[in-house]
Amino acid sequence: SVLLVGSQTGAVTDFEGDFEIQADPGVHSLKITFISYNPLEIGNIEVTAGKVTVLDNIQMTEFTSDLETVTISAEAIRTTEA
């Protein structure tokens, strides 16, 4: 998802990662998030009235973390009735 920082304005990307956001003229920042990737904030995006601002080649880095070992154990209890 893509959020215009400091506002309630956001968008969801399509399969190719393309998105559109309507923003007032000025300098803005975007916060981009996606499952399994580190959040990315892009600042100093200048928006000019009447023009389309294109951000090319946005690249996110994969989120990596060290997982701890998980141990699963089970015990079967059998009872017999007389």
Q: What is the pLDDT of residues 23-81, one digit of tens each?
A: 999 999 999 999 999 999 999 999 999 999 999 899 999 998 777 788 888 888 888 77
CA distance 21 to 74: 52
CA distance 22 to 38: 24
pLDDT at residue 3 is higher than 80: yes
**35 near 58, Cβ under 8 Å?**
no
pLDDT band at 82 (very low <50, low <70, confident <90, very high): low
**31 near 41, Cβ under 8 Å?**
yes
Does pTM top 0.75 for this prediction?
no
